[in-house]
Amino acid sequence: MAKLNRDGVNLYYEVHGQGPALLLTHGYSATSQMWRGQIEPLSKTHTLIIWDMRGHGESDYPEDPAAYSEAATVADMAALLDAVGAKEAIVGGLSLGGYMSLAFHRVHPERVRALLIIDTGPGYRNDEAREGWNRTSLKTAERYETEGLGRLAAGSVEMRTSRHRSADGLAKAARGMLTQRDAGVITSLPTIAVPAIVVVGANDTPFLAASDYMAAKIPGAKKAVIPDAGHAANIDQPEAFNAAILEFLAEAGLD
């Protein structure tokens, strides 16, 4: 358990185990604690880094809305790898964390050994579709502003079981990090030249088509559907999820 100061914003992170670096990023409104079921199996062979994004969990909740952005999150991820002395890493995450992992690869492809894309969408090519997503994200921000942390009860399991100090950070994160500005991530998929696995819960209906799309667009990508799992496949079915990740890492020579 440690804190990394990023221009006055303290980021909470944990490092477990030894071996090749593996950075996991949680979903929106969740925290690093959503990965508790992955620490023991993954840290046996890897240096596992989990962390709380700004505005979440034990990290800081900056007052300036400009402190929340895709670019800031990607820079936070790079700084975390620097902090643990990792020039490159296996990079992955769930939902927003998976999207940010793709965004990280887009900016720092030389630092990514493999990608773990979990219950995630790649963004939108179509401006109208992206605007629809952004309207929903802004409504989420408004609900946190009016309902407070009670809003977490309406989320999936990784949200319901997370702990945050204030709803203000989540609202700002929705406005600055959950909203999307362009098609940069989705158009970058065919350029990915590292091993990648797309994981999705069989019951995570909103993300099934997106998972199919990413598995088709990322060259050589493997796809794993976790039976009887929803949006938080790693929590709903940890044994099946862990087995899929470990098998992928072994096949890619990354174990």
Q: What does each of the 255 residues of the chain score in pLDDT, given as a tens digit?
A: 799 999 999 999 999 999 999 999 999 999 999 999 999 999 999 999 999 999 999 999 999 999 999 999 999 999 999 999 999 999 999 999 999 999 999 999 999 999 999 999 999 999 999 999 999 999 999 999 999 999 999 899 999 999 999 999 999 999 999 999 999 999 999 999 999 999 999 999 999 999 999 999 999 999 999 999 999 999 999 999 999 999 999 999 998
Secondary structure letter of residue 150 according to DSSP: G
What's the structural domain count of the chain?
1
The boundaries of the domain holding residue 198 are 2-122+185-251
φ and ψ at 18, to 5 degrees?
-140, 155
The answer as to whether 110 is a domain residue is: yes
User: Is 35 part of a structural domain of the chain?
Assistant: yes
> Among 28, 25, 26, which Cα is nearest to 179's?
28
Within a domain: residue 57? yes
Q: Is residue 164 part of a domain?
A: no
Residue 221 domain-assigned (yes or no): yes
3-state SS assignment for residue 238 = helix
Closest by CA position to 151, among listed 135, 168, 132, 134: 168
In a domain, 153, yes or no: no
- The domain that holds 18 is classified in CATH as 3.40.50.1820
C-beta separation of 232 from 157 below 8 A:
yes
Element (H, E) at 211: helix 208-217
Asked, for residue 40, whether it belongs to a domain, the answer is yes
| Structural tokens at position 79 | 């700084």
Count CB-CB contacts under 10 A for residue 190. Answer: 11
Q: Is residue 208 part of a domain?
A: yes
pLDDT of residue 255: 81
